[in-house]
Amino acid sequence: MHHSKLPTELCWPDGITQSRFLKEYWQKKPLLLKQAIPDFDTPLPADELAGLSLEPDSTPRLVIQDSDGCFHLEHGPFDESRFATLVDNNWSLLVTDVEKHLPDLRDYLIPFQFLPTWRIDDLMISYAPVGASVGAHVDEYDVFLLQASGKRRWLIDRDAQSLHSSIAQGDLKLVDNFQATDEWELEPGDILYLPPGVAHHGIACEEACTTWSIGFRAPAIRDSVMRIAEMIAEALPLQRYRDGDLNTAVPGEITADAIQRFKTEWLKATQLENSAFETLIGRILTEAGVAESGSDDIQTLSKGDDGDVQVQKAPFSLMAWHQNHADDSSRVSLYVDGSVHACSRTLAIQLCSGAALTINQTAIAHEKDRALLRLLHEQGCLIAV
């Protein structure tokens, strides 16, 4: 895998700054960034992407358009023989979590770290032969579409008032009344930013192309509320409802006193101290992470080992931190795959950025931080590099 010069920040269009983008465009309206990454040369050719979709732990999809114009979705991993049957230009290959399978590509996400990194979901890469598309659709999250090779024509409907009725085609939900308000042709290095809810339709033009999609997690509020309630309930002691002083009951009546007793218990359970609520949110936002332990190349650290073993965040592990130690600004709560740990602010930032860290006296000054690194390594949240 080769690398073009790795950028550390995006090149913004004339008159647009990072601050202006955050204020006027982020989650509000689309923006085309011509040559956001100048001279971009994709490090992942199409045949390597296809090879990745054959790996047993990959999560690829094929979107195929039949002769009637209907789209069909197939889930991988695939077999090489499946690609041999794709003779027409009526299909697209999409592979998610590419940067987790190919860690060298994580550095390409650095230009997007001006946004909350706990929101960055994954790098999805799609391949389409000339003329192919996956149909007009709407995403419920923010996405940056980076053209990596070839050219793709993007049509969008920026009218937020459009009521896009979706039609289900198998597992796909497509827009059936799509009317484009804008059309652009993206070349390698160009980026199209789309906020949630903007209908868009991409078509490979002139030649086969690959497109990188940097997607941002957007937890559904009802799912978050449900999970918070579950976590609160899990922590409650096992006790049952009790009546207070009763008057003679009327058959079937739920009294105002009974309702008030339930409400009192509800408020007692859900009115959390800030620190307790912060911990719940930190755990929820990182608990989808899956640490892959047991790999052959993972080195074992003996207790008290302060040698030159380098470790970094495991590909599928999720990490974030929060400054909730008001009495000590140097200490923070680090959330790792649904668990919470105390550590230094410096270490938290290094871990979350994916930096490689050496466990020794000079690099990690605090013994508690070194102990945490060993623990996370044992749990598979960190891997040796």
pLDDT category at 291 given cuts 50, 70, 90 is very low
Say yes or no to pLDDT of 299 above 50: no
**Each residue of 248-281: pLDDT tens digit?**
999 999 999 999 999 999 999 999 999 999 999 9
C-alpha span between 246 and 265 (Å, rounded)? 18
pLDDT at 158: 85
Whether the predicted pLDDT of 359 surpasses 60: yes
Q: Please state, rounded to an integer, the average pLDDT across all residues of the chain.
A: 89
Q: What CATH number matches the domain at 263-385, 3.40.50.1470, 3.30.565.10, 3.40.366.30, 1.20.120.10?
A: 3.40.366.30
CATH of 18-216, one of 3.30.470.20, 2.60.120.650, 3.40.50.720, 3.40.109.10: 2.60.120.650
What is the pairing mode between strands 71-75 and 60-65? antiparallel
Task: Give me the helices (H) in the chain, please.
Answer: 18-24, 46-52, 80-84, 98-101, 221-235, 256-270, 274-286, 345-352, 367-378
- Statement: residue 165 has pLDDT above 80: no
Q: Please tell me the distance from the alpha carbon of residue 179 to that of residue 277, in angstroms, as a whole number.
A: 44
CATH 2.60.120.650 intervals, the chain: 18-216
**Which segment of 143-152, 323-332, 357-366 scores lowest on mean pLDDT?**
357-366
Cβ distance 44 to 1 under 8 Å? yes
Half-sphere exposure of 314 (CA within 13 A, CB side): 23
d(CA 383, CA 385): 6
pLDDT band at 310 (very low <50, low <70, confident <90, very high): confident
Task: Give 95-127 pLDDT, tens digit per residue.
Answer: 999 999 999 999 999 999 999 999 999 999 999
Is residue 49 classed as helix, strand or coil in its secondary structure? Answer: helix
- CA-wise closest residue to 302 among 367, 364, 359: 359
Cis peptide preceding 77, ω within 30 of 0: yes
Task: In whole angstroms, give the CA distance from residue 230 to residue 228.
Answer: 5
Separation of alpha carbons 53 and 105, rounded Å: 16
DSSP state, residue 37: S
Q: Which residues on adjacent β-strands are paired with residue 169?
A: 172
Average pLDDT value for residue range 278-300: 68
Which of 166-175, 218-227, 246-255 shows the lowest mean pLDDT across its residues? 166-175
CA distances from 189 to 32, 115, 147, 192, 306 (A): 11, 20, 6, 10, 43
Residue 161 has pLDDT above 90, yes or no: no
* Beta pairing partners, 214: 123, 144
Q: Where does the pLDDT of residue 303 fall: very low under 50, low under 70, confident under 90, or very high at 90 and above? A: very low
**DSSP SS3 for 306:** coil
The dihedral over CA atoms of 41, 44, 49, 51, expressed in degrees to the nearest 10, equals: 140
CATH 3.40.366.30 location in the chain: 263-385
Q: Say if pTM beats, i.e. exceeds, 0.85.
A: yes
Using alpha carbons only, how large is the chain's radius of gyration in Å?
Answer: 25
Q: What pLDDT digit, counting tens, does each position of 50-90 carry?
A: 999 999 999 999 999 998 888 999 999 999 999 999 988 99
State the first-to-last Cα distance of the chain, in angstroms, to the nearest integer: 18
**What type of residue is 230?**
E
